[in-house]
Amino acid sequence: MSELWQLGAAELGGLIQCGEASSREVIHSHLDRIDEINPKVNALTVVLRESAIESANKVDRRLKRRENIGPLAGIPVTIKENQDLIGSATTLGLKPLKDAVADTNSPHIAELLDAGAIPIGRTSMPEFGMRWHTSNALIGATKNPWDSTLTPGGSSGGEAAAIASGMSPLGIGNDGAGSLRWPAQCCGIAALKPSHGRVSVASANKTSQPIPFAFQLLGVHGPMARKIADLRLCFRHMCANSSGDPFHTRAPFDGENLKLPMRVGIALTPGDREPHPDITKALRTTALQLEDAGYVIEEVDLPDLNRASEIYTQIMSSFGRLTAETQRAPVGLISEEYDQFWAEFFEPWEAAAGETTHDPMMERAVIAQTWSKLMDKFPLILAPIATQPAWKTGSDLDREFNTTWLESIRSVVAVNLLGLPSVALPIGVVDGLPHGVQIVGQRFREDLCLEAAEAVESRLQPISPIEPRL
């Protein structure tokens, strides 16, 4: 029989609900795993040991009294440190914010807690969440459990590493430029980037800064897990509360039935560069599994991909700061490594904006129309996450690398620009390393993305959790 820490969230919930395992046993199994693994991987910044045990005991007492408990009751969850959890610091990966304890839960976190989820720890992220590798001055670098010389991704790299190594069955991260999907690719797990407006990004915490327009438009909170069923379970308990988010939309979880067989467009060469051969292999493997499940696969070109990346960059550059004057973080606020990263990244980032438009939202709407026409024919798009595998740590401290990196994630940021849902799913191991792809859907059709991802998952062998190879 598998250890409890090896099971998925839905499996654990089923065991707790039917009395085959207590919530206390589940929580202690994960706490023991954290004690063993986190000193090696450095993914969790804080372990919420006492509160997690107390919450588990409450769940067990309620079950003993035969009371109804929530659908996530007793299931441990980890939470990235840029989301508010009462009694825990929302650090944004910044050392000066290590004592910025939240007095209010973020709306989606409050909903998860109402459904019974038990926070077991907070996970690391790069400073401000503005890097594709997870390291900060608070705790240092997070290790990729598959290979410590490679990045675990960012900015939700702490979550991805924790889930891949069995410290958590379920995590909550966010994605403004692939920050859920890229770490999922690096660490061999699954993630759901919901549609824009699905999950509130508002914050009522008194110590929180206002949310810049770019992050309101391009960023979204989402779940990470090892299994697609766990993404679905968690996602259904994150979307109800707007808390003042002007973009929040209460759309049904299950959309209208579409004509079958469903057509899936596969983007084998998005942008100007051929993907790494291992990425192409993962795409073709996924296509074969989808065909076996009854989907029809046809190669497509993603329209206006380069311009979509440029418009994304212009919006984030112009409207991703608290003030017009903010360009570089003040000395002492960030680590030397992050400062070095930004010094080597700034020039490629400016160049990636392309020709400046007087109205980026107008061009966004035009690009959205071209994608909408494509997706009327192909309700799902199979595409790379990044067109290259997890890279050696320190690679993003090189200016030339950053230019090629921005080119490799064009299909990722186009999804953010257009507010589309996407599921990242692992597709096997090549030369000892995991590889993954994304399945992109029409807005508010997370259900189609999840169904397709689950069809692929059911035809492949699971690749995590793993023992860290450090």
Query: Which are the catalytic amino acids?
Result: 80, 155, 179
What is the C-alpha separation between 118 and 304, in angstroms, rounded?
Answer: 43
Burial label for 268, CB within 10 Å (0-12, 13-18, 19+), is middle
- Is the backbone peptide bond immediately before 145 cis, with ω within 30 degrees of 0? no
| Residue owning tokens 């010389």 | 149
Query: 3-class SS at 442?
Result: coil
Two tokens, residue 45 = 């910044």
What is the C-alpha separation between 247 and 241, in angstroms, rounded?
Answer: 12
Say if CB 304 and CB 363 are below 8 A apart. Answer: no
What is the C-alpha separation between 23 and 12, in angstroms, rounded?
Answer: 9
> Across-strand partners of 438?
383, 424
Two tokens, residue 8 = 């998925």
Residues 6+ apart with CB under 8 A from 221: 83, 106, 108, 172, 173, 174, 194, 199, 201, 238
DSSP sequence for 222-262? EEEESSHHHHHHHHTTSSS--TT-TT-----SS-----SSP
Closest by Cα among 270, 277, 276, 275 to 299 = 270
Count CB neighbours of 462 within 10 A.
Answer: 12
What is the C-alpha separation between 361 and 364, in angstroms, rounded?
Answer: 5
What is the C-alpha separation between 367 and 383, in angstroms, rounded?
Answer: 18
Dihedrals phi, psi of 433, to nearest 5 degrees? -125, 145
Say if CB 379 and CB 372 are below 8 A apart. Answer: no
Of how many residues is the chain composed?
470
* For helices 410-418 and 305-319, angle between their N-to-C axes, nearest 10 degrees: 70
